[in-house]
């Protein structure tokens, strides 16, 4: 479930073109797309199709997508392309991102670095609920976590995955689950499928 009592957990909403923007960039994690979502997105973004670029990762080419389509291999290519932006982005630009939570916040972080403010950015969650988990002890992140407890990639401690979320890190907090009673590790279950 996306809902949480912990208020640092972001809420996401369906993307809608902001007609106050002059240029629009839609970044989509292809592998996270539900069936039919691309077609509905194309309809939704039709009013701004003339000033829309769509960056699509992973998935095969799609016919009839709104705006000018660019295909990129992975999220790393998206981040590199943003970081080396060959044109300056400005006040009129709007960025829309659709994908899993690690994808959304990777792109949001790269966009913030080149000057996108919160009012220029929309995020819509799609696909798996898997999490990026940041270890509070060794500060290494572990990707693609689907279980409520995970062994840290950095220090091997078993981390309880909390709902507390950092937008800067794009990650959930992981805290050693057996710190108070070493070795007492509860059953590990898949909870973020």
CA 25/CA 42 separation, integer angstroms? 13
CA 65/CA 70 separation, integer angstroms? 11
Listed in sequence order, the residues at least 6 apart from 121 whose beta carbon sits closer than 8 Å to its beta carbon are 94, 95, 96, 97, 108, 111
- Chain residues that interact with other proteins, rule: CB under 8 A: 5-9, 118, 134, 136-137, 139, 157, 162-169, 173, 175-176, 179-182
Q: Which is nearer to other proteins, 96 or 172 (CB)?
A: 172
CA 105/CA 132 separation, integer angstroms? 10
Closest approach of other proteins to the CB of residue 126, in Å:
23
Q: Which is nearer to other proteins, 41 or 107 (CB)?
A: 107
Q: Which is nearer to other proteins, 40 or 156 (CB)?
A: 156
Q: Which is nearer to other proteins, 10 or 58 (CB)?
A: 10
CA 40/CA 28 separation, integer angstroms? 13
Q: Which is nearer to other proteins, 5 or 189 (CB)?
A: 5
Closest approach of other proteins to the CB of residue 62, in Å:
36
Question: Would you state the structure tokens that stand for residue 69, as one six-digit string?
Answer: 């389509």
Listed in sequence order, the residues at least 6 apart from 108 whose beta carbon sits closer than 8 Å to its beta carbon are 97, 116, 121, 123, 167, 170
Closest approach of other proteins to the CB of residue 161, in Å:
13
Question: Would you state the structure tokens that stand for residue 103, as one six-digit string?
Answer: 């994808």
Q: Which is nearer to other proteins, 19 or 113 (CB)?
A: 113
Contact 23, 51 (CB under 8 A): yes
Beta bridge partners, 153, equal: none
Closest approach of other proteins to the CB of residue 146, in Å:
21
Closest approach of other proteins to the CB of residue 132, in Å:
13
Contact 130, 173 (CB under 8 A): no
Contact 105, 95 (CB under 8 A): no
Closest approach of other proteins to the CB of residue 104, in Å:
16
């Amino acid at each position: 479930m996306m809902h949480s009592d912990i208020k640092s957990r972001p809420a996401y909403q369906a993307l809608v073109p902001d007609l106050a923007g002059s240029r629009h960039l839609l970044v989509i994690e292809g592998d996270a797309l539900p069936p039919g979502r691309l077609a509905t997105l194309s309809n939704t973004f039709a009013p701004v199709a003339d000033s829309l670029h769509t960056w699509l990762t992973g998935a095969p080419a799609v016919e009839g997508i709104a705006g000018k389509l660019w295909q990129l291999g992975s999220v790393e290519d998206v981040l590199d392309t943003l970081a080396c932006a060959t044109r300056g982005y400005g006040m009129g630009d709007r960025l829309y991102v659709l994908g899993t939570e690690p994808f959304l916040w990777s792109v949001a972080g790269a966009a913030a670095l080149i000057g996108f403010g919160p009012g220029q950015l929309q995020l819509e969650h799609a696909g798996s609920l898997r999490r990026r988990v940041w270890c509070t002890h060794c500060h290494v992140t572990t990707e693609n976590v689907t279980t409520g407890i995970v062994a840290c990639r950095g220090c091997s401690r078993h981390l309880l995955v909390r709902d507390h979320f950092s937008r800067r890190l794009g990650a959930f907090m992981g805290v050693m689950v057996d710190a108070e009673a070493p070795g007492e590790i509860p059953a590990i279950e898949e909870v973020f499928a």
